[in-house]
Structure 1
């Protein structure tokens, strides 16, 4: 990867903008969009797949950190963030995310991409079966459930370079009894924690590794980060605005379709 072509720049910029909208709309980090695009572009520019996949994972998490701050602020104004639950899940999730990034640093590309796809599809199927609106059911108050949820979300966040929303939202809907809007808002807050822990892990575990492209901070590429994060930050706010005027059931269906598509793509079926 010795030079950057205009197509590379434009592709990442548009990907960042689209990811931002999806992040704001669905309360996910958007790593399942940014990761495959970066993985493909980096390989096209001559990087070994094992290096390319780790840079794609690490950089996605670092972008997600900025996007999640933007999204959380928007949902907070609509009182759709449950901070006590988000903080509990986030603290345990950030530690688990660091651990997940360490595991990812030693696994081959094929294992990571297949694992990514399977986890996303399972989450999609379970989410589809769960109602988006829950008017009578009370949100879980069991602290242990939130601790376990945070660890699960965080580990897969670090392992797969995602904020954790594609895992966290199904958990919140199915097991913790959130409604869709509060699941989206609280997920965005949890993602701030998990993306920070995972990003730190990818920096540390990638530091000084051979074969990294220019402008790399461990397994985080700063050029990619700028191209993805700047449009994503502003687009995320627009996505959050849209989410509050859309039927929650429609949001859920969009979320499920996107998850299935990306999951099949990463497994190699599409």
Structure 2
């Protein structure tokens, strides 16, 4: 298979559309969907696995940047984005994401992926017990240190694993920061704008001038793949956000928990 073949284009186009819907519906970046598909396709074109994995990670993050903008605009119209908190988490998260991309560019991520998978599964179990809609008897957290810690954690894993960070951020926002489900989804999308920006920049810088990069590459970001994923993803993300506002938040929570368990098992290597 070569880039530009009809099957190559179709697979990435459909992957982008599906990722966009999930992104808009649940406030996650969708890198866990785009990454394995790209990784497989790039190897099918003849790229070495070490190079393919870095391009798949970097390109996924760059697609996530556009999707997150689309989702954030939709949730902002519903006043479900807490901007003060999102900016604080996002600023620290973007720096941490840049650092995570540096680790991914030079070190194998297998051990950290396993740790990440375990943490995600534990977070899913805890999220399952957390109400999706909360009575405002207790206010959301006012601890700036909590938001800084959340941003760093979300950002680092975002850059390391080519994900937006929502699968970590939403449980933190629900359990520790005491957001309700729609606030967590909307604010997560806003934070992802920052983390995906920092991580994407890292993949461009660390991949710049590397030998054997495929055509249309900007460091470890492949522009051809980005267009095929980002265009349908951007449009579909808005539809996903519309659906999220008419679906029972408890259903969204259950879908999100299922997604977290799947991602955790995938990162561990069980599936």
Please tell me the TM-score bracket, short chain as reference.
over 0.9
Which residue of structure 2 lines up, in the alignment, with residue 66 of structure 1? 66
User: CA separation of 1:162/1:117 partners in 2, compared to 1, >3 Å: closer, same or farther?
Assistant: same
Which residue of structure 1 lines up, in the alignment, with residue 260 of structure 2? 259
Task: Decide whether the 8 Å contact of 2:62 with 2:196 is kept in 1.
Answer: yes
Structural mapping, 1:225-264, within 5 Å? 225-264=226-265
Which residue of structure 2 lines up, in the alignment, with residue 173 of structure 1? 174
State the SS of the aligned residue for 1:38.
helix
Structural mapping, 1:30-49, within 5 Å? 30-49=30-49
Structural mapping, 1:209-220, within 5 Å? 209-220=210-221
Matched residues, number: 270
Which residue of structure 2 lines up, in the alignment, with residue 94 of structure 1? 94
User: Is residue 7 of structure 1 aligned with residue 26 of structure 2?
Assistant: no
Task: Decide whether the 8 Å contact of 2:58 with 2:220 is kept in 1.
Answer: yes
Structural mapping, 1:108-257, within 5 Å? 108=108, 110-111=110-111, 114=114, 117-135=117-135, 136-257=137-258
Task: Decide whether the 8 Å contact of 1:102 with 1:201 is kept in 2.
Answer: yes
After superposition, the C-alpha distances for 1:196-239 in whole angstroms (9 at most, x for unaligned) are 00000000001011221111100101011000000000000000
Task: Decide whether the 8 Å contact of 1:16 with 1:34 is kept in 2.
Answer: yes
CA RMSD of aligned residues (A): 1.6
Could you tell me how far 1:262 is from its partner in structure 2? 3.0
Task: Decide whether the 8 Å contact of 1:117 with 1:267 is kept in 2.
Answer: yes
State the SS of the aligned residue for 2:177.
coil
User: CA separation of 1:143/1:201 partners in 2, compared to 1, >3 Å: closer, same or farther?
Assistant: same
User: CA separation of 1:38/1:6 partners in 2, compared to 1, >3 Å: closer, same or farther?
Assistant: same
Cα distance in 1 for partners of 2:107, 2:242 equals 39
Cα distance in 2 for partners of 1:60, 1:190 equals 16
After superposition, the C-alpha distances for 1:47-87 in whole angstroms (9 at most, x for unaligned) are 11111111111101100100000000000000000000000
After superposition, the C-alpha distances for 1:108-130 in whole angstroms (9 at most, x for unaligned) are 36446545544443332332232
Structure 1 stretch displaced more, 140-149 or 254-263: 254-263
Q: List gaps (5 residues or longer) in structure 1.
A: none
Cα distance in 1 for partners of 2:104, 2:12 equals 23
Task: Decide whether the 8 Å contact of 1:93 with 1:194 is kept in 2.
Answer: yes
Task: Decide whether the 8 Å contact of 2:2 with 2:8 is kept in 1.
Answer: no
Task: Decide whether the 8 Å contact of 2:157 with 2:165 is kept in 1.
Answer: yes
Cα distance in 1 for partners of 2:56, 2:122 equals 22
Cα distance in 1 for partners of 2:224, 2:90 equals 28
User: CA separation of 1:111/1:221 partners in 2, compared to 1, >3 Å: closer, same or farther?
Assistant: farther
